[in-house]
Amino acid sequence: MEQVTDHILAAARKVIAVHINYPSRAAQRGRKPEQPSYFLKPSSSLALSGSAVERPAGCELLGYEGEIALVIGKPARRVGMEDAWGHVRWVTASNDLGVYDLRYADKGSNLRSKGGDGFTPVGPSLIPAADVDPSGLRIRTWHNGELVQDDTTEDLLFPFARLVADLSQLLTLETGDIILTGTPAGASVAKPGDVVEVEVTAGDFSSGRLTSTVTEGTTAFADFGARPKADDTQREEAYGSREAAGLAAVVPVLTPALSPELRKKLESVATATLSSQLRKRGLNNVSIDGLQATRPDRRVVGLARTLRYVPNREDLFTTHGGGFNAQKRAIDSVNEGEILVMEARGEKGTGTIGDILAMRAQMRGAAAIITDGGVRDYSAVAGLDMPTYFANPHPAVLGRRHIPWDTDITIACGGATVQPGDIIVADSDGILVIPPAIAGELVDECIEQEKEEAFIFEMVKQGNSVDGLYPMNAQWRARYQEWEGTKGD
């Protein structure tokens, strides 16, 4: 196969890069574009395999992104998707490098942050585009020998032919132009001394490993113009997550809707009473159904924190299932008196919480854990003082059916919608979700209702018929008010 040479690099009049194109990257970024979007990199950013890449002096965040590069073989102007791939001559590996320290100065152009000399190495070998299926390519990236990116082009958001056709509608793609086609999840930050390698393969074809060694720049930026600066937002973006960047998880500040007085009142009334009052207000879908409790003798009141699992997909579990994932973050950030509510889609074929994480939640003061999925280590979890509400015991780990995806968002659990900060009340009758805005007036009416029901129960116990008593007519209500008045004597 042909090699990438200085002649190949000199032929590129344009280097066009796609922002987001891999589903794994879209999931990591939390946004899925409806249409491809692009930015330009100067041709002076191109470099050969084996070249050193300088992290500019004063910069902290040199991000690397393994990508598949397309080299245009013949001009393309307003071509259709069915013909677009025929305008690509070669496929090879590339590394879309950039310094996040300068993103603030770009206003979306990426010129300063990604346009530096040597910030677009490509090569080393060229794969003939005509000999490969563009949906059958594999991209891998190694950081200091560790595989950190591994994905294929099978399910791209925007197939390569679409990129070529789309760009050609407005501008002419000229012979030698290079298109960088996006990066999968796993891109991160390289430091001086690090080695980053990228390889593209398709069957027996390989680009070879594109190798870049990071060096430390020594020339400071001039006094005029933008200077490097990094903050936690850019660190999170560069590393891919707050955890990877070594940053503490962001714990949302919940509205203090559960005062000690309100909590005490809610603990005094039954969920059956709360349910009837909620129904009077038109709220019929606020019960978390179908669960059992490790401590059915307890009445639990607390503010909801939420965790969502999505169905397991092996490639996404690789990026979201390990390390300090969303499940562990949720457990490790639950606060005194809060209730962690999990959305597991009612999937009973695996556990969503086990003894160690349940113990951690109890040690942090959690009032309860609620999941509409399974529980592992049931005997140990049931032995804890903290109640857990669950669908069933199951021995399997969550990776069998679930990926812990995100926290502190609106979720569905046991048929009910739960938002962070909702008030959860649970007892032997069931589990209710109470909107914080109505909790005060709701519980006061529940207390009054239970007083009336205590009177009715006593009257029935004395042998009275329920006709006219339950509910009370005017005559019985007068007797109730008299009864209520004598209780204080």
Is the residue at 434 inside a domain? yes
- The angle that helices 271-280 and 439-461 make with each other, rounded to 10 degrees, is 120
Mean pLDDT of all residues in 2-16: 93
| SS3 state of residue 270 | coil
The answer as to whether 134 is a domain residue is yes
Please state the rounded mean pLDDT for residues 273-279: 92
Whether 252 has a pLDDT exceeding 60, the answer reads no
CATH number at residue 375: 3.50.30.40
Alpha-carbon distance of 22 to 34, in angstroms, equals 13
Q: What is the pTM of this model?
A: 0.57
Question: ω before 471 within 30° of 0 (cis)?
Answer: yes
Are 345 and 422 members of one domain?
A: yes
Inform me whether the pLDDT recorded for 202 exceeds 80.
yes
* CA end-to-end distance (rounded Å), the chain: 101
| 434 and 448 both lie in a single domain | no
**One domain, residues 229 and 84:** yes
What's residue 46's pLDDT?
96
Residues 141 and 231 reside in one and the same domain: yes
Per residue in 452-488, pLDDT (tens digit) is: 888 999 999 999 998 988 888 988 888 888 888 776 5
The percent of residues in the chain predicted with pLDDT above 90, rounded, is: 76
Q: At 394, which helix (H) or strand (E)?
A: none
Q: Which two tokens stand for residue 318?
A: 């690789």
Helices (H), 53-144: 81-84, 111-114
- Based on the domain organization, do 433 and 446 belong to the same domain? no
If phi > 0 it is left, if psi is from -120 to 50 it is alpha, else beta; for residue 78 that is left
pLDDT of 183-193, one tens digit each? 999 999 999 99
> Do residue 464 and residue 434 come from a single domain?
no
Which structural domain range is residue 232 located in?
6-239
Whole-number average pLDDT of the chain: 92
105 & 28 share domain: yes
Copy the structure tokens of residue 148: 């950190």
| Two structure tokens written together for 289 | 């159904």
pLDDT-based confidence at residue 256 (cuts at 50, 70, 90): low
- Sequence-ordered list of residues with C-beta below 8 angstroms from that of 157, at least 6 positions apart, any chain: 20, 21, 22, 23, 26, 32, 33, 36, 182
Confidence band (pLDDT; 50, 70, 90) for 248?
A: confident
Q: What share of the chain is helix, strand, coil (3-state, %, to 5)?
A: 30, 30, 40
User: Which amino acid does the sequence have at 488?
Assistant: G
**For 137-180, how does the pLDDT look when each residue is reduced to its tens digit (9 = 90+)?**
999 999 999 999 999 999 999 999 999 999 999 999 999 999 99
Bond from prior residue into 134 cis (ω within 30 degrees of 0)? no
- pLDDT bracket for residue 108 (50, 70, 90): confident
301 falls within a domain: yes
Confidence check: pLDDT of 297 > 80: yes
Looking at the domain assignment, is residue 72 inside a domain? yes
Mean pLDDT, residues 231-246 taken together: 88
**255 has pLDDT over 70:** no
The string of pLDDT tens digits covering residues 66-85 is 999 999 999 999 999 999 99
At residue 320, does pLDDT exceed 90?
no
Residue 331 lies in a domain: yes
Q: Are residues 184 and 131 in the same domain?
A: yes
Q: What is the pLDDT of residue 257?
A: 67
Q: Cβ neighbours of residue 413 under 8 Å, at least 6 residues apart? A: 288, 341, 342, 343, 344, 370, 371, 372
Cα 193 to Cα 79: distance, rounded to the nearest angstrom: 44
Shared domain for 122 and 188, answered yes or no, is: yes
Asked if the structure places residue 389 within a domain, the reply is yes
What confidence score (pLDDT) does residue 68 get? 98
Average pLDDT over residues 353-358: 94
Q: What is the mean pLDDT of residues 108-126?
A: 93
The total domain count for the chain is: 3
Q: Are 298 and 410 in a shared domain?
A: yes
Q: What is the pLDDT of residues 379-434, one digit of tens each?
A: 999 999 999 999 999 999 888 899 999 999 999 999 999 999 999 999 989 999 99
Q: Which of 239, 272, 288 is the last residue of a domain?
A: 239
Average of per-residue pLDDT across 194-207: 96
Least confident span in 119-123, 152-156, 204-208, 221-225: 221-225
Among candidate residues 189, 204, 239, the one where a domain is terminated: 239
185 with 272, same domain? no
Please indicate, yes or no, whether residues 95 and 79 belong to a single structural domain of this protein: yes
pLDDT band at 489 (very low <50, low <70, confident <90, very high): very low
Whether 255 is covered by a domain: the verdict is no
